[in-house]
Every structure is written in structure tokens, then in C-alpha cells.
Copies of this chain bind each other. A is one copy, B any other.
Amino acid sequence: MSNSFGRLFRFTTWGESHGEAIGCVIDGVPAQIPLCEADIQYWLNRRKPGQSKFTTQRQESDSVKILSGVFEGVTTGTALSLLIENEDQRSKDYGDIAQKYRPGHADYTYQMKYGVRDYRGGGRSSARETAMRVAAGAVARKILDKAGISVRGAMVQMGATVIDRAAWDWEITEQNPFWCPDAKTAAIWEAELLAIRKSGSSIGAVIEVQAQGVPVGLGEPIYGKLDADIAAAMMSINAVKGVEIGDGFAAANLQGEQNADCMRMENGQVVFQSNHAGGILGGISSGQPIITRFVVKPTSSLLIPVETVDKDGNNTIIITKGRHDPCVGIRAVPVGEAMLACVLADHYLLYKAYQG
């Protein structure tokens, strides 16, 4: 169950960073949805490495193949199998990460838990796995499209520099390599990240993902809460250390009347006067946009030496050569979008089960 996510819309991923291929199986896709490889490839290309100078230069076309579950252009209701061959898995010297544990990585915990690990490029713990989340998310979006629900994300903080929310423009996110919704901040980040990359270091970031068009009533109370599922989804992404819904941690500072999203009738409709709750009340969507944020720690694959130990129990230092993302938050944007899409598709199906 470690490699599966979801209840009714459920996907299972497999594959290691430098193995032969990666893939996923998606169960619970309704029948008769038009689907082809290009529909999925579009979203994969947004996460693909090598898109700008700010992401890893690993060259992968990340071409997805649909191996089952589609017939004559539509889904059949049976298991969808997707596969991407790993092209850039040239044999190389993995000596250092084979022997030493990178601080902040899963190297140590995998070795202790399993007594063996595929150290090549991080093996199963590599963020390469997130390509299949994006692929699953592309299929989830097909279900959401029919329901009028859309999902999009942006990077809202890099290091200490936070965007100007007043300047938020979704179109800007497509025009800079950071998915930054504010052109001025994008320019600042560019200078900052160049300096960080040059120094061989890395930096953390905060990503925000929003869903529009979510009807009131998605989510289950108590333990199957929509926000609990979103929290698990986001926290399961590599390097994520925190998740917020709506005002999140800022709600600690608020008094009750400040935090209350007051309600008014407008043209026979309930209209909320604010969205501190991020679109979820009691675990159930309120009809407002769903807003979630998550923080990504700076990768510890660094050109700067750090102290560690090796498999034989010796103190040593490690420098992680190779092609790394100085800010993994950038590529986490499409991944976060995909995970929110998957959670919503799952809850949308669940919602239908109990209606009518």
C-alpha cells in the first residue's frame, strides 16, 4: 500500500530513478473518457527536467506510453497502465552515494529499514517518481473537467522572498521559469537563484495550489476529511515539510471574529465574504476555491561538503556531484497541482456514490 494513493481514483507507482523505466497503474477511471498519450504528455512536459537553467540538466524526453485501459480513444473503465522509459540512465560511477549517506536524504533510512537500497540516483526515493504523480494527475483532471473543476499552482516564496499577493496574475506563472504569479518577484528570484546555484547550494520554497469550481459537499467528515487527504497528498511529495489550508499557520494569530468567513445572500446564493478557511469547513468543501500551500526544503544534494558517515561506520564528508535542482520547489508546482487533482477526483467519485 506504500506505493498506492487514493480510494476510488487510485494510482500505484513503481520504478527507480535509474532503472529501466518508471510507471503507474490507475484504477477507478470511469469509462468513456477520451484519452490519448498527448493529453498526459502535456502535463508531464511542465514537470520535465531540463526546462530551464534552474532545473536539473538531466535530459529525459519523458515520453509516456499508455499500455492498457484505453480502447478506440476512450477509457474502458479498466486499469490504465502508463510507462516512461528512463533514457538517461548511462552507467556511471555512483561510488560516493553508494557508500555514504547524504544528510537530509532517504539514503540512511532506506539502508537501515531494508538493509539494501538502489543508490543509483536515489533509486525509488528519487523525485523522479513524481513524474508518475503528474501523469496520474493528468488523468484526474479529465474527471475534474467534466465536473467543472480546475486546478493550478504557483510558487509563492523562495528563500526569504515572498511574492506580492496584490500583484498575483495567473498568466505570469506561464511566463517565467518559477511559476511565479508576480513578475517583479520572478526577477528577484532569478538573481537570487543564480547566486545560490553558483555557490553550489540550494534553497527552500513555498508552493500554493488552488482549485476552482469545487462544488459544496466534497469530502467526508472525521477521518476522510478533504483537508486531511490533501495534507497527506502534499506531505507525501519529496522534500515537503509542511502543509496549510487557507490561512494555515497565520490563523494562530487571529481572533475568532477575524477568522470567521461571514456569509451573505446575493441573488439567492450564499456568498462568503472571505476565505480564511481555504474552501473547507469540517472536512467538506464549502463551494469556495480550495487553497493549500506546502513548503519544500532545500535539497541536500550539494556541491558544498557536509559531514556524514559511510556504510562502514566511518566519519566522512560528502559532496554530491551531478545534475541537481537548486530549488526543487520549481518542479514541485506541477506535482502539487497533480496531487490536488487526484485528491479531488477521488472525492468527486466518492461524493457521487452517496448522492441521489
Once the chains bind, are A25 and B14 in contact (CB under 8 Å)?
yes
Known contacts: A105-B282, A125-B221, A261-B104. The answer to whether A255 contacts B202 by CB under 8 A is: yes
Tell me whether A116 and B160 are in contact in the complex, defined as CB-CB below 8 angstroms, given that A262-B307, A284-B106 are known contacts.
no
Chain B residues, Cβ within 8 Å of A355: 30, 352
Best-surrounded residue of A229, A273, A355 (most CB of chain B within 10 A): A355
Determine the distance from Cα of A238 to Cα of B221 in the docked complex, in whole angstroms: 10
Q: Closest CB of chain B to A232's CB: distance in Å? A: 4
Q: A179 contacts the other chain (Cβ, under 8 Å)?
A: no
Q: How far does the Cβ of A61 sit from chain B's closest Cβ, in whole Å?
A: 18
> Which of the candidate stretches A47-55, A168-176, A246-254 sits at the interface with the other chain?
A246-254
- CB distance B2 to A295 under 8 Å? no
Given contacts A252-B204, A286-B109, A309-B270, contact A12 B32 (CB under 8 A): no
Given contacts A21-B67, A265-B309, A306-B260, contact A248 B252 (CB under 8 A): no
With A68-B15, A307-B263 in contact, is A253–B204 under 8 Å at CB?
yes
Q: How many residues of A contact B (CB 8 A)?
A: 148
Q: Is the CB of B2 within 8 A of A251?
A: no
Report A284-316 residues with CB < 8 Å from chain B CB. 284-287, 295-302, 304, 306-309, 313-315
**A244 on the B face (CB < 8 A):** yes
A243 touches B231 (CB 8 A): yes
User: Contact: B14 with A106, CB < 8 Å?
Assistant: no
Q: Are A313 and B15 also in contact (CB < 8 A) when A286-B109, A353-B8 are?
A: no
Contact between chains at B157 and A252 (CB < 8 Å):
yes
Q: Is the CB of B241 within 8 A of A236?
A: no
Contact of A191 with B by CB under 8 A: no
Residues of B within 8 A of A118 (CB): 71, 76, 78
Residues of B within 8 A of A71 (CB): 16, 116-118, 123
CA distance A20 to B23 in the complex (A): 15
Point out the residues of chain B lying under 8 angstroms from A212, CB to CB. Answer: none
- Residues of A139-174 at the interface with B, using a CB-CB cut-off of 8 Å, are 157-160
How many angstroms between the C-alpha atoms of A349 and B196 in the bound complex?
Answer: 43
Find the B residue at minimum CB distance from A282.
B106
* CB contact between A69 and one of B12, B14, B254, B283 (< 8 Å): that residue: B14
Least Cβ distance of A295 to chain B in Å?
Answer: 5
Q: Is the CB of A254 within 8 A of B298?
A: yes
Residue A36 interfacial (CB < 8 Å): no
**Chain B CB within 8 A of A79 CB:** yes
- Given A30-B354, A236-B223, A355-B352: A123 and B242 within 8 A (CB)? no
* Residues 198-231 of A at the B interface (beta carbon under 8 Å): 201-206, 216-217, 219-225, 227-231
* Complex Cα spacing A29 to B230, Å: 24
- Collect the chain B residues with CB atoms within 8 Å of residue A222's CB: 2-3, 13, 78-79, 124, 129, 236
Question: What are 26 A-B interface contacts by the 8 Å CB criterion?
Answer: A2-B78, A2-B222, A13-B79, A14-B68, A14-B78, A14-B79, A32-B114, A78-B222, A101-B263, A104-B256, A108-B263, A109-B285, A129-B222, A157-B252, A196-B255, A223-B236, A228-B231, A228-B235, A247-B297, A249-B249, A251-B298, A256-B299, A264-B307, A265-B315, A273-B307, A350-B353
